[in-house]
Amino acid sequence: MSIKVHHLNFSRSLRALWLLEELELDYTIQAWERDKDFRAPSAAADVHPLGRFPMVEVDGRVLVESGAVLEYFADREGKLRPTDETEKIECTMFLHYAEGSLMPPLLVQLIFTRLRAAPMPFFIKPIARGIADQVDKSYTRPALDLHLGFVEKTLGERPYFAGNNFSIADIQMFYAVEAALFRASGERPNMRAWRDRVISRPAYQRAEAKGGKAVPPSKA
Protein backbone atom coordinates (compact mmCIF):
# COMPACT_ATOMS: atom_id res chain seq x y z
CA MET A 1 0.00 0.00 0.00
CA SER A 2 1.41 3.36 -1.11
CA ILE A 3 0.34 6.32 1.06
CA LYS A 4 1.10 10.01 0.51
CA VAL A 5 -0.27 12.67 2.84
CA HIS A 6 -0.70 16.17 1.45
CA HIS A 7 -0.10 18.16 4.62
CA LEU A 8 -0.84 21.86 5.06
CA ASN A 9 0.86 23.61 7.95
CA PHE A 10 -1.45 24.58 10.85
CA SER A 11 -4.37 22.53 9.61
CA ARG A 12 -6.59 19.53 10.14
CA SER A 13 -4.21 17.41 8.09
CA LEU A 14 -2.21 16.80 11.27
CA ARG A 15 -5.03 14.32 11.99
CA ALA A 16 -3.93 12.16 9.06
CA LEU A 17 -0.29 12.13 10.18
CA TRP A 18 -1.29 11.26 13.74
CA LEU A 19 -3.58 8.46 12.57
CA LEU A 20 -0.90 6.87 10.39
CA GLU A 21 1.62 7.11 13.22
CA GLU A 22 -0.83 5.39 15.59
CA LEU A 23 -1.36 2.63 13.01
CA GLU A 24 2.40 2.40 12.35
CA LEU A 25 1.90 2.60 8.59
CA ASP A 26 4.57 3.81 6.19
CA TYR A 27 3.78 7.00 4.32
CA THR A 28 5.35 9.99 2.63
CA ILE A 29 4.50 13.66 3.14
CA GLN A 30 3.94 16.31 0.49
CA ALA A 31 4.27 19.53 2.49
CA TRP A 32 2.20 22.62 1.58
CA GLU A 33 2.47 26.11 3.07
CA ARG A 34 -0.27 28.66 3.66
CA ASP A 35 -0.11 31.88 1.66
CA LYS A 36 0.29 35.40 3.05
CA ASP A 37 -3.45 35.54 3.79
CA PHE A 38 -3.23 32.25 5.72
CA ARG A 39 -5.12 30.41 2.98
CA ALA A 40 -4.37 27.06 1.40
CA PRO A 41 -2.55 27.44 -1.94
CA SER A 42 -4.79 27.35 -5.00
CA ALA A 43 -2.55 24.71 -6.57
CA ALA A 44 -3.96 22.20 -4.06
CA ALA A 45 -6.96 21.90 -6.39
CA ASP A 46 -4.66 20.03 -8.78
CA VAL A 47 -4.60 17.16 -6.26
CA HIS A 48 -8.35 17.20 -5.58
CA PRO A 49 -11.00 19.63 -6.92
CA LEU A 50 -11.86 20.82 -3.41
CA GLY A 51 -8.26 21.72 -2.62
CA ARG A 52 -8.94 21.14 1.07
CA PHE A 53 -6.67 19.41 3.56
CA PRO A 54 -6.12 16.64 4.47
CA MET A 55 -5.74 14.94 1.12
CA VAL A 56 -4.34 11.42 1.30
CA GLU A 57 -3.33 9.46 -1.76
CA VAL A 58 -3.74 5.69 -1.31
CA ASP A 59 -2.64 3.55 -4.25
CA GLY A 60 -3.51 6.36 -6.64
CA ARG A 61 -6.89 7.26 -5.09
CA VAL A 62 -7.25 10.61 -3.30
CA LEU A 63 -9.14 10.54 0.00
CA VAL A 64 -10.50 13.77 1.47
CA GLU A 65 -12.42 14.84 4.59
CA SER A 66 -10.83 14.06 7.95
CA GLY A 67 -13.62 11.85 9.26
CA ALA A 68 -13.69 9.77 6.09
CA VAL A 69 -9.89 9.37 6.11
CA LEU A 70 -9.90 8.29 9.75
CA GLU A 71 -12.71 5.79 9.19
CA TYR A 72 -11.12 4.35 6.07
CA PHE A 73 -7.81 3.51 7.71
CA ALA A 74 -9.31 2.45 11.05
CA ASP A 75 -11.66 0.03 9.28
CA ARG A 76 -8.95 -1.19 6.94
CA GLU A 77 -6.53 -1.92 9.79
CA GLY A 78 -9.16 -3.00 12.32
CA LYS A 79 -7.79 -0.63 14.95
CA LEU A 80 -8.70 2.55 16.84
CA ARG A 81 -12.45 1.88 16.73
CA PRO A 82 -14.20 0.52 19.81
CA THR A 83 -15.72 -2.96 19.83
CA ASP A 84 -18.15 -2.19 22.65
CA GLU A 85 -21.48 -1.16 21.11
CA THR A 86 -21.98 1.91 23.29
CA GLU A 87 -18.45 3.14 22.64
CA LYS A 88 -18.86 2.50 18.90
CA ILE A 89 -21.90 4.77 18.85
CA GLU A 90 -20.08 7.48 20.82
CA CYS A 91 -17.05 7.20 18.54
CA THR A 92 -19.17 7.68 15.42
CA MET A 93 -21.06 10.57 16.98
CA PHE A 94 -17.89 12.50 17.85
CA LEU A 95 -16.44 11.88 14.38
CA HIS A 96 -19.39 13.87 13.01
CA TYR A 97 -19.82 16.27 15.94
CA ALA A 98 -16.31 17.73 15.69
CA GLU A 99 -16.88 19.38 12.33
CA GLY A 100 -20.66 19.40 12.20
CA SER A 101 -21.41 21.15 15.51
CA LEU A 102 -18.30 22.25 17.40
CA MET A 103 -16.19 23.82 14.65
CA PRO A 104 -18.82 26.21 13.16
CA PRO A 105 -19.03 28.59 16.17
CA LEU A 106 -15.25 28.44 16.56
CA LEU A 107 -14.84 29.44 12.91
CA VAL A 108 -17.38 32.27 13.26
CA GLN A 109 -15.49 33.48 16.31
CA LEU A 110 -12.23 33.45 14.33
CA ILE A 111 -13.77 35.30 11.37
CA PHE A 112 -15.14 38.11 13.52
CA THR A 113 -11.96 38.36 15.58
CA ARG A 114 -10.07 38.96 12.33
CA LEU A 115 -12.76 41.39 11.16
CA ARG A 116 -12.23 43.55 14.25
CA ALA A 117 -8.50 43.70 13.53
CA ALA A 118 -8.77 44.18 9.76
CA PRO A 119 -7.68 47.52 8.26
CA MET A 120 -10.65 49.63 7.23
CA PRO A 121 -11.73 53.30 7.09
CA PHE A 122 -12.14 54.80 10.57
CA PHE A 123 -15.83 55.52 10.04
CA ILE A 124 -16.52 51.87 9.19
CA LYS A 125 -14.77 50.40 12.24
CA PRO A 126 -17.59 51.12 14.76
CA ILE A 127 -20.12 49.52 12.43
CA ALA A 128 -17.98 46.42 11.86
CA ARG A 129 -17.27 46.06 15.56
CA GLY A 130 -20.94 46.53 16.39
CA ILE A 131 -21.89 43.73 14.00
CA ALA A 132 -19.17 41.49 15.41
CA ASP A 133 -20.28 42.19 18.98
CA GLN A 134 -23.90 41.40 18.13
CA VAL A 135 -22.95 38.10 16.45
CA ASP A 136 -20.86 37.20 19.50
CA LYS A 137 -23.72 38.02 21.85
CA SER A 138 -26.53 36.33 19.93
CA TYR A 139 -24.72 33.32 18.45
CA THR A 140 -21.04 32.66 19.14
CA ARG A 141 -20.87 32.91 22.91
CA PRO A 142 -24.11 30.99 23.60
CA ALA A 143 -23.10 28.28 21.09
CA LEU A 144 -19.62 27.92 22.58
CA ASP A 145 -20.98 27.85 26.12
CA LEU A 146 -23.31 25.02 25.08
CA HIS A 147 -20.80 22.94 23.14
CA LEU A 148 -17.76 23.45 25.33
CA GLY A 149 -19.90 22.72 28.37
CA PHE A 150 -20.94 19.46 26.74
CA VAL A 151 -17.34 18.55 25.87
CA GLU A 152 -16.10 19.45 29.36
CA LYS A 153 -18.84 17.36 30.98
CA THR A 154 -18.12 14.38 28.69
CA LEU A 155 -14.42 14.42 29.53
CA GLY A 156 -15.24 14.65 33.21
CA GLU A 157 -17.10 11.34 32.95
CA ARG A 158 -14.54 9.33 30.95
CA PRO A 159 -10.91 9.66 29.87
CA TYR A 160 -11.53 9.64 26.11
CA PHE A 161 -14.34 10.77 23.85
CA ALA A 162 -15.69 7.31 23.02
CA GLY A 163 -15.15 5.88 26.50
CA ASN A 164 -12.26 4.27 28.33
CA ASN A 165 -10.01 3.80 25.31
CA PHE A 166 -8.31 6.13 22.86
CA SER A 167 -9.91 6.05 19.40
CA ILE A 168 -10.20 7.93 16.14
CA ALA A 169 -12.81 10.10 17.87
CA ASP A 170 -9.99 11.65 19.92
CA ILE A 171 -7.92 12.36 16.81
CA GLN A 172 -10.93 13.98 15.14
CA MET A 173 -11.81 16.11 18.17
CA PHE A 174 -8.28 17.34 18.82
CA TYR A 175 -8.27 20.24 16.36
CA ALA A 176 -11.48 21.74 17.74
CA VAL A 177 -10.45 21.30 21.38
CA GLU A 178 -7.04 22.80 20.67
CA ALA A 179 -8.64 25.82 19.00
CA ALA A 180 -11.16 26.20 21.83
CA LEU A 181 -8.49 26.13 24.52
CA PHE A 182 -6.62 28.94 22.75
CA ARG A 183 -9.63 31.17 22.15
CA ALA A 184 -12.59 30.33 24.37
CA SER A 185 -13.10 31.61 27.89
CA GLY A 186 -13.13 29.42 30.98
CA GLU A 187 -10.63 27.11 32.60
CA ARG A 188 -11.94 23.82 31.09
CA PRO A 189 -9.82 21.54 33.34
CA ASN A 190 -11.18 18.30 31.86
CA MET A 191 -10.42 19.42 28.33
CA ARG A 192 -6.92 20.41 29.35
CA ALA A 193 -6.34 17.10 31.14
CA TRP A 194 -7.53 15.19 28.05
CA ARG A 195 -5.25 17.29 25.84
CA ASP A 196 -2.29 16.49 28.08
CA ARG A 197 -3.12 12.78 27.86
CA VAL A 198 -3.32 12.62 24.10
CA ILE A 199 -0.33 14.81 23.27
CA SER A 200 1.80 12.59 25.50
CA ARG A 201 1.19 9.69 23.12
CA PRO A 202 4.35 8.83 21.15
CA ALA A 203 2.36 8.73 17.90
CA TYR A 204 1.13 12.29 18.39
CA GLN A 205 4.62 13.50 19.19
CA ARG A 206 5.99 11.88 16.03
CA ALA A 207 3.21 13.44 13.97
CA GLU A 208 3.81 16.91 15.40
CA ALA A 209 7.56 16.55 14.85
CA LYS A 210 6.88 15.88 11.17
CA GLY A 211 3.97 18.25 10.55
CA GLY A 212 4.08 20.95 13.22
CA LYS A 213 1.27 22.00 15.55
CA ALA A 214 -2.38 21.86 14.51
CA VAL A 215 -3.31 25.39 15.59
CA PRO A 216 -1.03 28.45 15.83
CA PRO A 217 -1.97 30.46 18.95
CA SER A 218 -1.73 33.78 17.15
CA LYS A 219 -3.79 32.72 14.15
CA ALA A 220 -6.61 30.40 15.22
Q: Which domains does the chain have, with CATH numbers?
A: 3-77 (3.40.30.10), 85-201 (1.20.1050.10)
**DSSP symbol at 39:** P
pLDDT at 108: 86
pLDDT in tens, the chain (220 residues): 899 999 999 899 999 999 999 999 999 999 999 988 788 999 999 999 999 999 999 998 999 999 999 999 999 999 999 999 999 999 999 999 999 999 999 988 877 777 677 777 876 777 767 777 777 787 888 899 999 999 999 999 999 999 999 999 999 999 999 989 877 666 899 999 999 999 999 999 999 999 998 877 544 3
Contact 82, 163 (CB under 8 A): yes
pLDDT of residue 35: 86
In this structure, the number of other CB atoms found within 10 A of the CB of residue 63 comes to 20
Q: Which amino acid is at 184?
A: A
Instruction: For residues 148 and 219, give the distance between their C-alpha atoms in angstroms, rounded to a whole number.
Output: 20
- Write the burial class of residue 4 (CB in 10 Å: 0-12 exposed, 13-18 middle, 19+ buried): middle
pLDDT for the residue numbered 127: 72
Residue 26 CA to residue 48 CA, distance in Å, equals 22
Q: Judging by DSSP bridges, how do beta strands 3-8 and 28-32 pair with one another?
A: parallel
CB of 156 within 8 A of CB of 190? yes
Single-letter amino acid code for the residue at 10: F
DSSP assignments along 51-83, one per residue? --S-EEEETTEEEESHHHHHHHHHHHHT-SS--
CA dihedral of 135, 106, 30, 196, whole degrees rounded to 10 = 160
